[in-house]
Amino acid sequence: MDRNEMYKQSPLRILERARSGKVDAGEAAPGSVDAHGLGRGNLGVVMARAGVGKTAFLVHIALDSLLRERKVLHVSLDAPVDHVHSWYEAVFNDLARAAQLTDLAGTTELIHRNRIIQAYTLHGHGAGQSAFSVDKLTSSIALLAQHAGFKPDVLILDAFDWTRTNDKELEALTATAKALNLELWMTALTHRHQTGGDAPSSVPPPCDRFSRYLQLVLFLQPVDGHLSVRLLKDASLGAAMAVDTHLSLYPDTMRLVDDRLPTAPMKDLPPSAYTLLSGAAEGAEAEFGTCAERYGVREENISFEGHRVVRTRGLRMLSDEELREGDVSLAYVSATMHRTYHQNATLRKVLQSIWHQVNSAQEVFIIGVIQPDGTVKGGTGWAAELARHQQKALHVFDQNQKGWFSWDAKARAWNPSRPVVGRTRFTGTGTRHLTPDGAAAIADLFQRSFGRSNRQS
């Protein structure tokens, strides 16, 4: 397959059909300007919760333009250039493998020739990176045009903080897009307590108060192990109602779900593309966090006021409102796990916080003990039950048996295993009473998953 065919397989072709109801996937071709795209001078936003895939979706948008020989400037506000470059390599290689691309070298050279990646920080705290501002961005674009002859057709701005912006900055960004005649794509982080469990029917916080600046708003929603894409706003159509695009995407790569094509986990993503969800407590959770920091994996440690934590990297303290999202009946927990829990306020909060650790993860790793009835001993057994209930990959290192076991949902049995982290958002939790064998199991898991030689094999 040549790159014209790979271009036609892009998720954006289906999105265009959803927007217009008329566009055929083969109408637009590389080298042409697609009348159904975002449009120069306009601002589009991809919204989703943490870890859902906003960056990967933006990379697809960028690659879509690059395959049409349009120039792309990708600006990251939360990752260095080499990490962003790794995202491009991973997503492109996944597409190329699925499409059996024949002109791999020529297409790779085309992408490199027409793309520039820059990195800033939001507030000037990154090593070797300056703080972002619209003035710095426009100055940089002018310098690229003057000294490199590079004039972007598309500007990607990833990890913008919508909670700290204002009308003046949004007006400046949209004015820049119009003055430079380029498409501007951005991401926005949403939170479950603001959007609810279902995809919203209108532009949610934090972008709702800036909706007048937005031409196109997309929302990525996890559904049954995949992602759906919902069109929340399309100013060109004057749409007042949200529209389901019927796009179903793989959560790690954003490639269209197609059972005929390979779905093997990507080995090209940098460790920084992965996020450990844990609770920062002593024992297993602290060891998971230590290993995550050692390998450059991001942490999201979820806890609540009054609960003792021993790690602060990526610490997120849940509000009472957020805790209630994970509310469960202790009677239900007792029946599910075949044990009795007392009506204890702290225990309820622990179970609520565990729900947050597991709910947005795609894979769960636990250090503990598997009991004769198949449940996992202790409070973290609730993480195992949630993973099973939500049909997520589940692995437990049994400290008594000194080995890993993975849950086989079809056979309803634990099977000996040697797991690796295969999804970009995973939970790591377990007992406070971590043994040397348990600690070694966590270290080995990270080495197998993120060790350089293993990732390149």
Q: What is the CATH number of domain 3-249?
A: 3.40.50.300
pLDDT score of 27 more than 50: no
pLDDT score of 21 more than 70: no
- Alpha carbon of residue 116 to chain centroid: 22
The reported pLDDT for the residue numbered 252 is: 61
Mean pLDDT of the chain: 82
The strand pair at 183-189 and 43-48 is best described as parallel
DSSP code, position 229: E
Separation CA 255–CA 94 (nearest Å): 8
The reported pLDDT for the residue numbered 439 is: 97
- Alpha carbon of residue 222 to chain centroid: 10
pLDDT score of 31 more than 50: no
Give residue 68's identity as a one-letter amino acid code.
R
Average pLDDT over residues 130-138: 88
**Residue 229's pLDDT band (cuts 50, 70, 90):** confident
Provide the token pair at 375: 């449940």
User: Smallest Cα–Cα separation from 12: which of 66, 52, 48?
Assistant: 66
pLDDT score of 24 more than 50: no
**Residue 262's pLDDT band (cuts 50, 70, 90):** very low
The reported pLDDT for the residue numbered 140 is: 93
Average pLDDT over residues 219-246: 72
What is the arrangement of strands in the sheet containing 403-408, beginning at the earlier edge strand?
315-318, 298-304, 275-278, 425-430, 363-368, 393-398, 403-408, 413-417
DSSP 268-337: -S-GGG-EEEE---TTHHHHHHHHHHHHT-EEEEEEETT---S--TTEEEEPHHHHHHT---HHHHHHHH
The reported pLDDT for the residue numbered 287 is: 97
The domain spans of the chain are 3-249, 274-456
Average pLDDT over residues 1-20: 63
List pLDDT tens digits, range 302-358: 999 988 899 999 898 988 888 887 776 556 666 666 666 656 788 888 888 998 899
**Residue 224's pLDDT band (cuts 50, 70, 90):** low
Separation CA 50–CA 387 (nearest Å): 19
Q: What percent of the chain has pLDDT over 90?
A: 42
The reported pLDDT for the residue numbered 350 is: 86
List pLDDT tens digits, range 423-447: 888 999 999 999 999 999 999 999 9
- CATH 3.40.50.450: does it fit domain 274-456? yes
The reported pLDDT for the residue numbered 276 is: 94
**Residue 29's pLDDT band (cuts 50, 70, 90):** very low
Separation CA 315–CA 301 (nearest Å): 5
The strand pair at 226-234 and 216-223 is best described as antiparallel
The reported pLDDT for the residue numbered 344 is: 75
Lowest mean pLDDT among 4-18, 83-97, 150-164: 4-18
Q: State the chain's maximal CA–CA distance in angstroms.
A: 71
Whether 274-456 and 3-249 are alike in CATH topology: the answer is yes
